[in-house]
C-alpha cells in the first residue's frame, strides 16, 4: 500500500510538470507571434511618416513651381515696361530707339535697350538729290544700314508711258544731265515687298542756272533779320536789368520829372488866367467911362 501510495504522487508531479512545460511553450509561441504584429504596426507608422514626408515634398515642389512662374511673370513685366523713341523718318524705312523705363543698371530712370527698325508710309514723294553739279546728279534711294539688305529698282518716268526699268540696282544712281528734264523713281524692296518709293527731277544745265539766279537770296536777309532781332532783345533785357537794379534812382527821377511837369502846367494855367483877365479888362473900361460921363452931366 505504501509503495503504491508513494508512486501516485510521483506520477502526479510528473504530469503537472509536463503540463507546465507545455503551457510555457505555448506562452512563448504566443509572444513570438505578437512581436511580428507589433513590428508590423511600427512599419505601418514608418510608412505613414514616409507618405507624409512625400506629400510635404510634393507640396513644397508645387509651391516652388508656382513661385517660379510668378518670378518669370515679374521678369516679363519688367521687360515690357519700355518706351519707343521717334522714328528717324516720316516715310519709308528708318530706325528708332527702344528705351527701358524700369530695371536699368546703376539706378537710372531710363536706358536704351536696343535700336530697331521702324516704317512709315511707302510713298516719300519727291526728294532732293544727294549731290549735284552742272554736269551730273547723284540720287539716293531710301534705305538704312546695311545697304545690301535691300534691293533697289530704278525707273525712268515718262508722261503717258510705262516706266522704263534701268539695269542699275544699287542704292545710289549717278545721272548725266541731258537736253530735257527727266524724272526718276527708286523703289526699295525688302523680301520682294516695296517698303519705300521716292522720285527725283533732274533738270537741264540751263534750267539749273536759271533756278539758281532767280532764287532770292533769302539766307542773307534771314540772317540779317535774326541778328537785328537778337540785338534788340539783348538791349531790352539790359535796360530791364538796369531799371530793376537802380529802381530807387529811377523812381526819384520820374518823381522830379513829374513835379516839373506839374509846375509847368501850373505856370501855364496862371498865364492863361492872366491873359484872360487882360482880355476882359478893356471890355469893362467903356462901362466905367459912361458912368463918369453921366455923373458929369448931372
Angle between helices 218-245 and 247-297 (to 10 degrees): 80
Query: How does pLDDT run across 238-256, given as a tens digit for each residue?
Result: 988 988 888 888 778 777 7
> Could you report how far apart the first and last alpha carbons of the chain are, in Å?
226
More confident residue, 244 or 52: 244
Q: State the pLDDT confidence band at 157, using cuts at 50, 70 and 90.
A: very high
Q: Which CATH architecture is the domain 122-214 placed in?
A: Sandwich (2.60)
Q: Tell me where in the chain the CATH 2.60.40.10 domain(s) lie.
A: 122-214
* Residues listed for the chain: 298
User: What is the model's pLDDT at position 212?
Assistant: 73
User: What is the model's pLDDT at position 60?
Assistant: 45
Nearest residue to 178 via CA among 225, 134, 113: 134
Name the helix (H) or strand (E) containing 189.
strand 182-190
Nearest residue to 163 via CA among 197, 117, 131: 197
Query: How does pLDDT run across 124-144, given as a tens digit for each residue?
Result: 999 999 998 888 999 999 999
Kindly tell me the sign of the dihedral angle through the C-alpha atoms of 144, 148, 151, 157.
positive
Q: Check whether 271 has a pLDDT greater than 60.
A: yes
Q: Return d(Cα 96, Cα 77) in angstroms, integer.
A: 22
Strand 131-132 vs strand 123-126: parallel, antiparallel, or unpaired? unpaired
Q: Check whether 94 has a pLDDT greater than 70.
A: yes
Q: Is the pTM of this model over 0.75?
A: no
Nearest residue to 208 via CA among 137, 295, 292, 286: 137
Amino acid at each position: 500500500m505504501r509503495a503504491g501510495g508513494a508512486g501516485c504522487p510521483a506520477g502526479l508531479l510528473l504530469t503537472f510538470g509536463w503540463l507546465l512545460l507545455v503551457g510555457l511553450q505555448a506562452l512563448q509561441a504566443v509572444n513570438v507571434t505578437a512581436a511580428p504584429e507589433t513590428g508590423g504596426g511600427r512599419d505601418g507608422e514608418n510608412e505613414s511618416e514616409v507618405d507624409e514626408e512625400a506629400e510635404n515634398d510634393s507640396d513644397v515642389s508645387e509651391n516652388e513651381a508656382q513661385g517660379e512662374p510668378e518670378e518669370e511673370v515679374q521678369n516679363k513685366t519688367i521687360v515690357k515696361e519700355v518706351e519707343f523713341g521717334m522714328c528717324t523718318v516720316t516715310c519709308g524705312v528708318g530706325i528708332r530707339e527702344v528705351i527701358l523705363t524700369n530695371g536699368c543698371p546703376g539706378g537710372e530712370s531710363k536706358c536704351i535697350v536696343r535700336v530697331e527698325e521702324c516704317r512709315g508710309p511707302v510713298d516719300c514723294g519727291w526728294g532732293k538729290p544727294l549731290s549735284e553739279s552742272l554736269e551730273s546728279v547723284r540720287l539716293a534711294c531710301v534705305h538704312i544700314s546695311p545697304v545690301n539688305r535691300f534691293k533697289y529698282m530704278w525707273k525712268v518716268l515718262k508722261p503717258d508711258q510705262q516706266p522704263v526699268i534701268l539695269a542699275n540696282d544699287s542704292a545710289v544712281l549717278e545721272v548725266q544731265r541731258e537736253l530735257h528734264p527727266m524724272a526718276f523713281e527708286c523703289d526699295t524692296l525688302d523680301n520682294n515687298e516695296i517698303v519705300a518709293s521716292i522720285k527725283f527731277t533732274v533738270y537741264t544745265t540751263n534750267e539749273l542756272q536759271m533756278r539758281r539766279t532767280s532764287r532770292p537770296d533769302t539766307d542773307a536777309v534771314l540772317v540779317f533779320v535774326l541778328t537785328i532781332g537778337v540785338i534788340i532783345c539783348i538791349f531790352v533785357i539790359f535796360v530791364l536789368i538796369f531799371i530793376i537794379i537802380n529802381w530807387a534812382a529811377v523812381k526819384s527821377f520820374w518823381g522830379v520829372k513829374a513835379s516839373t511837369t506839374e509846375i509847368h502846367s501850373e505856370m501855364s494855367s496862371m498865364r492863361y488866367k492872366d491873359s484872360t483877365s487882360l482880355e476882359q479888362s478893356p471890355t469893362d473900361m467903356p462901362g466905367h467911362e459912361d458912368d463918369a460921363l453921366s455923373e458929369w452931366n448931372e
